[in-house]
Amino acid sequence: MSNDSFTEVTSEGWLSRIGGALKGILFGLILFIIAFPLLIWNEGRAVDRIKALEEGSGSVIHIESAPVIPANNQKLVHLTADVTTAEILEDPIFNVQANAIKLKRNTQIFQWKEKVTTIKEKQLGGEEKTIKEYSYSKVWSDDLISSSNFKDSRYRNPDYMPLKKLTLQAKKITSGAFDFPDSLTQRMNNFKSLELQPKPFPNIQGIENIISYAGGYFIGDDPERPRVGDIKVHFEIVEPATLSIIAQQTANTFQPYITNGGGEILLLEYGVVSHEKMFKSALESNSVLTWVIRLTGLIMMSIGLMLILKPLSVIADVLPILGDIVGAGASLIAFLVAIVLTAITIAVAWIVFRPLIGVGLLLLAGLVLWLIKGRVKANKSITDSEVTTS
């Protein structure tokens, strides 16, 4: 075994495990209960977003990037324009300059990282043995890794980052005759590397051994053999670009458009994109987000139910194989119940927000349950018939 890893073995008694499982019931109940309002809120959010996008797609008008037409003030508009700036952004420490919408200084520090591999082994009588292997490796990381909780205190990381990350943004950005607002600039995150030419670097107070390396800078003795605490610096920029925008025109700039239902529309895509495609993309993004939150609610509900049922498998662990069977059965039941409850919750939410779809979902769920029940009865009848014949 490497000197950068070691193994720890601990044991927990059966009664202690039961106590821990009982305590977990409260957390399971919290997860289970929170899942319902999350699912209901998600369906309402999804419907509101669909309504807002449908309203917007029916009222948006296309405009040119110049000139500014006052008659379009407060209207929902679509335009394609070159988003540019005349400003030169400059890093105050490294004197790196670029004509860009954004300039970002990225810093990485070489540190120790702890990895914990855990294996649990059930013992006859309900005791559980836990085997933990702690291994340590050196990695480049964007953020400081705290070593205060490392199992092996010999591995220590720096307590502070001598050079911080930094993002600069141009103050005056235009799109044709319009001023480009910060609300849209924040969405411009198509960063690309800014390659620097090697050059002697002036001394910075408190920092030594600065070397031009790999298109950026290295702070340390040898970039090919870094040591804990060494730093890499590289730069990225967001260049001026052609963008397609859907927003509310407000004088000579843009802001989010508020629909009659209170929804907000502010869309941005790179390149020349029609408003039809932009609204379609927004609907697809809404659908993806909706399903992500649905799955999150399902997982929360499943985990909550598993924690509630956990004491059953721990009690049965007095005989490990029996505990495994009970645990597998409890997990399956928790997952199936979570699926049913999630589907019913979503259907009920749709009854509130879109009744016809909600009722249809409930009827479909009922039909599926009826078919499953009928199939189970049929299989039982066949089995009973075979037993009688025998």
Closest to 215 (Cα-Cα) out of 230, 238, 194: 194
Say what the pLDDT of residue 352 is: 72
Q: What is the DSSP string of 274-314?
A: -HHHHHHHHHHHHHHHHHHHHHHHHHHHHHHHHHHHHHHHH
Residue 30: HSE in the Cβ half-sphere, 13 Å Cα cutoff: 5
Classify burial at 160, counting beta carbons within 10 Å of its beta carbon; exposed 0-12, middle 13-18, buried 19 or more.
Answer: exposed
Interatomic CA distance for residues 323 and 312, integer angstroms: 8
pLDDT digits (tens, 9 = 90+) for 2-18: 458 889 998 989 889 89
pLDDT digits (tens, 9 = 90+) for 39-98: 999 999 998 999 999 999 999 999 999 999 999 999 999 999 999 999 999 998 888 999
User: Which run of H or of E encompasses 115?
Assistant: strand 102-122
Beta bridge partners of 249: 254
Q: Give the single-character DSSP code of 227.
A: -
Q: 247 vs 199, which has greater pLDDT? A: 247
Helix axes 275-316, 14-59, angle to 10 degrees: 170
Token pair belonging to 85: 């700036």
User: Which run of H or of E encompasses 218?
Assistant: strand 216-219
Token pair belonging to 53: 């996008």
Interatomic CA distance for residues 250 and 266, integer angstroms: 13
Interatomic CA distance for residues 86 and 173, integer angstroms: 8
Say what the pLDDT of residue 387 is: 47
Residue 164: HSE in the Cβ half-sphere, 13 Å Cα cutoff: 4
CA angle centred on 76, ends 73 and 79, rounded to 5°: 95
| pLDDT-wise least confident of 57-66, 194-203, 208-217 | 194-203
| pLDDT-wise least confident of 30-44, 131-145, 337-351 | 337-351
Most confident of 48-62, 186-200, 310-324: 48-62
Contacts of 375 by beta carbon, 8 Å cutoff, 6+ apart: none
Say what the pLDDT of residue 385 is: 55
Q: Give the single-character DSSP code of 156.
A: -
The letter for the amino acid at 113 is: K
Confirm if 65 and 149 have CB atoms less than 8 A apart.
Answer: no
Instruction: Please confirm whether the linkage preceding 198 is cis (ω < 30° from 0).
Output: no
| pLDDT-wise least confident of 39-43, 163-167, 385-389 | 385-389
pLDDT class of 386 with cuts at 50, 70, 90: very low
First to last CA, the chain: 61
Token pair belonging to 289: 């987000």
- CA 346, 349, 351, 354 dihedral sign is negative
- Region 334-363: mean pLDDT is 79
User: Which run of H or of E encompasses 383?
Assistant: helix 355-389
Confirm if 208 and 199 have CB atoms less than 8 A apart.
Answer: no
SS3 assignment, position 130: strand
Listed by start position, the domains of the chain span: 9-52+286-382, 86-239
Pairing of strands 241-250, 76-84: antiparallel
Calculate the CA 186 to chain-centre distance.
18
